Structure 1
Amino acid sequence: MLTTMSEQVTNTHSQQTWFTKFKTTLASSLLLLTTSQTIYADESLGHFSQTYTPQQILADISQWENFLHSTHPNLAHSVENIDDFYTQLDSLRSSIKTPMTGQALWRELAKLNATMADGHLSFDDGKNAQWRAWIKDGVQLFPLEVVVNNQGLFVKSTLGGDANTYQGKQISQINGIPASTVTEELLQRIEGDNLAFRQALLSRRFAMTYRLVYGTKENFNLKFKDEDSTVILNALNQQPESIQSKPFEHYFNLQMLDNKQAILTVKTFGWDEPKKYFDFMAEAFQQLNANQVEHLLIDISENTGGDDEYWMAGILRYIAQKPYKQGSGYSAKILAKYRDPGEVVGTVVNGSLSRMIKPETDKSKLFKGQVSVLTGPLTYSSAVLFANTIQDHQFATLIGTPTGGRSTQSGGIQFLTLSNTQIRAVVPRFILARPSGNQQMTPVQPDIELTINPLNKAQTLADALSHSSKL
């Protein structure tokens, strides 16, 4: 989901609006890949199933490295030890001696994802549309939806979302391998700013990531914690819940409660019919005022990002009562396609967002009640910028867990499809600090911390409403 920074950037090189130039995207396979690949026979994963020569692979690695250095403004933003990063890259390059499948190569390239530690900086594991096509052609996957967290690996439902007998049980082994070993292997290849985000992202993509790392399996021998017996489950030819096409109401809905409270769920800041979204928001806030709602909980705990305009014109328009901006200092690499007069391609420009966005002048449209915003480990990209703005301007109270992304976010993502292997890479070209100017490299911290139960969303919402009512 793209996040467009619509603020005007003030610097000595340019006075033009960077609305089309600043884009913050969850560089993950949840939302991004747009290339189409040839679909092969049953149990084929397109370009991942093809075999490539060492020469082809090494050429692709060089292509990616050149792209990385010509695009990213400062790798040290997220890479904790830059020397270790280059050592890892050199070791990878030296290890390429024989032909490899795209799947085997991805397993090695994706180990850099955790090292790079940025959800906008990664090697992709395939777009949702590709996986839907591969599954339609017969690919079978691990049969359960799961939750990965610090406590372990838990069953959420059957793959696809249907209820399951084993829901809530903790998996201790998969095919004789300790679940902790499996999740560690998979997490090594998941992108993200922090462990909580990578765990949440892996929870959504477990079946697909497992398929890429461990290969195809006809069945799975599972053991559960504190149980001696083994359960055998067949692989399923079923779309995981995270890649299923969902209706508008799944992402955006307003729930009116009977105690002068309401919940506004916003799972993304983007939609392919913008007018439908903005009309919905206008009607939602009109309904809130008409019903004299005293407290609104805005749930962005599963919002992985989008276009800033969706929360500026769709939410802050109705709750902001003073001028605001969504960022402060930035660092950006100048690319040829974005170059303004006087700018040198390849250089890094530092500046600040200075233009303040004015609040709605029609006071009748402003929401008159109290506002809380629920954050979680999947709150990322533009949703982090929304949380920054809400907190720094005191438009609402943040409640929940720390966000999945750093308060200081990267963005302006650029895409590269490697010429030979067709593996997709994502690299950001700018870094933006929160409106307060604080260069915060940790997640956005909620004003009220609340444990989120990934197996019981209704309980999480009830807890959030209960805490908010005490403000």
Structure 2
Amino acid sequence: MRLTVFLLLSLLSLPAPPAVGQTPLLSAAQLGEDLAEIQSHMALIHPDPGFAGQGGDIAQAMARVGEQLTVPLSREQAWAAFATLNPAFADAHMQVTVPDVMGQTRAHLDAGGKLFPFEVVVEPDATLRIRSALGGGSTAYAGAAITRINGQPAQQVVRTLLARAAGDSEGFRANHLSWRMWLPYWKMFGAPPSFQIEIAGKGLVQVAASGALPEALKEDFEHLFRFDILPGGAALLTVSAFMAEDPRRFLAFTRAAFARMQASGATVLIIDVRQNGGGDDALWKEGILPYLASKPYRHTSSYIKKVIAGRDSAAEALGSVVRADHHKWHPPELANPLRFTGQTYVLVGRMTYSSAVLFANVMQDFGFGKLVGERGYARTRQSGGTQVRTLPHSGLTLVVPRMVLERPAGPQAQPLLAPDIVLPDDPVNRRGLIDALLAWHHRQAAQ
């Protein structure tokens, strides 16, 4: 799943109320009822809302939001208020967000609306760099820092948006905002037809807003999945999601990839999940591990879950919290004629999340491959089984997980996903890490 808080001290910093005739304002009573719904759903669904060690922060954030819901707000203002809970949740599987992002964005663009013109890189300190034009197109400003946006200091704009970003850590929240800054910017500051942007080393430039579909919303098969034979006996399998409209097509794609790799004589496989926000575990269990696993494996050692309506039974009462070891193991396919026995590396990065983290855990814990990247951003102890609820008055979306999964090897001293091989990874140059890894591999082989 490609997903995508501290409340502002004054409602003056929220978006201006809509003009008469636009979306109606929500009353203070309605807003209070929506906040109560958030608290109720958390209590009913989440087995341990403070599992990330943020229980006190959540309570304080709830109180701050409640203190501010004293005047009527538009739907956008309501999102700006409720979304300040997201950093306190410290879990990208638990957040308040706008509904139907794809549908809203396509409708906006189809009606002639425009968006912030760049794909960006956001750092935790709120610095902002240009990665590409919106949608992934080229731009002469790639890699340059943005210092002001429409007269406002860029860091001030970014801090406002980071205060509403979801994710496991400060680094992950910055990466989450990087992947979809056009969305919260639109909701917080509107969608002007052009932007005055001050770029370091370039000065002030006038840039037209973009009508391109953002890269985060591109879910066509060819954009998400790719296989390449590289020079020097290496192969690159790019898997930017573990979801596909037709899972059979993905399974056919990976089978063909391993067949091509075998025919090429490749001895090194690089699997790139740096942009993989997750999806369905079945895709990697059935589409990748049959060619790599050399021993039985499981995706978790233990779990806790909340028994919710529709999943209760005589053995598991509604509302109870179940803690158990996971005993289902998957056998390796040692007789698979396409099984790869060379060196496997898994590139992890800024947007590796959810099912992609579970995949990385399995590869690392069972020795099926080495993780490569800059550093960790997401927890290896992942929540899951997400439930989606709609707040009754604002119509905003609340996402809450009903389980928490421990990694296969059990609790670790390092809570975040930790690469075995640490190499720099510049998001403006995605090929850089691949080249650096191959150079590192060849140096090791020569020793």
Q: TM-score, normalised by structure 2?
A: 0.91
- The answer on 1:260 being equivalent to 2:217 is no
Match of 1:214 in 2: 189
CA contact (8 A) 1:289 1:368 kept: no
Separation of aligned partners in 2, 1:317 and 1:335: 33
Could you say which structure has the greater relative contact order, defined with CA pairs below 8 angstroms and 6 or more residues apart? Answer: 1
Separation of aligned partners in 2, 1:351 and 1:139: 50
Instruction: Give runs of aligned pairs for residues 3-18 of structure 1, distance below 5 A.
Output: none
Aligned length, in residue pairs: 426
**Partner letter of residue 118 of structure 1?**
D
- The answer on 1:71 being equivalent to 2:48 is no
Match of 2:394 in 1: 421
Instruction: For residue 276 of structure 2, give the secondary structure of its aligned residue in structure 1.
Output: coil
Separation of aligned partners in 1, 2:94 and 2:333: 36
Instruction: Give runs of aligned pairs for residues 18-417 of structure 1, distance below 5 A.
Output: 28-29=3-4, 49-80=23-54, 82-126=55-99, 127-150=101-124, 152-226=127-201, 229-244=203-218, 246-417=219-390
Separation of aligned partners in 1, 2:37 and 2:58: 17
Q: 1:163 to 1:298 in 2, by over 3 A?
A: same
CA contact (8 A) 2:294 2:334 kept: no
**Partner letter of residue 70 of structure 2?**
K
Could you give the per-residue CA deviations for residues 211-262 of structure 1, whole angstroms, max 9, x where no partner exists?
Answer: 11223434322212255x3212233333222223x43122111101231111
Q: 1:150 to 1:334 in 2, by over 3 A?
A: closer
Structure 2 residues not aligned, in runs of 5+: 5-17
Instruction: For residue 309 of structure 1, give the secondary structure of its aligned residue in structure 2.
Output: helix
Could you give the per-residue CA deviations for residues 8-60 of structure 1, whole angstroms, max 9, x where no partner exists?
Answer: xxxxxxxxxxxxxxxxxx5x34xxxxxxxxxxxxxx9xxx9442122222211
Match of 2:428 in 1: 455
Separation of aligned partners in 1, 2:268 and 2:236: 9
Q: TM-score, normalised by structure 1?
A: 0.86
Separation of aligned partners in 2, 1:430 and 1:356: 19
Match of 1:467 in 2: 440
CA contact (8 A) 2:119 2:135 kept: yes
CA contact (8 A) 1:117 1:193 kept: yes
Could you give the per-residue CA deviations for residues 143-201 of structure 1, whole angstroms, max 9, x where no partner exists?
Answer: 22211125721112222322222222111111222211111111111100012222222
**Partner letter of residue 114 of structure 2?**
Q
CA contact (8 A) 1:281 1:314 kept: yes
Separation of aligned partners in 2, 1:66 and 1:467: 51
Separation of aligned partners in 2, 1:337 and 1:253: 39
CA contact (8 A) 2:299 2:359 kept: yes
Alignment root-mean-square deviation, CA: 1.9
CA contact (8 A) 2:124 2:170 kept: no
Could you give the per-residue CA deviations for residues 313-338 of structure 1, whole angstroms, max 9, x where no partner exists?
Answer: 11111011111111111111011211
Identity of aligned residues (%): 34
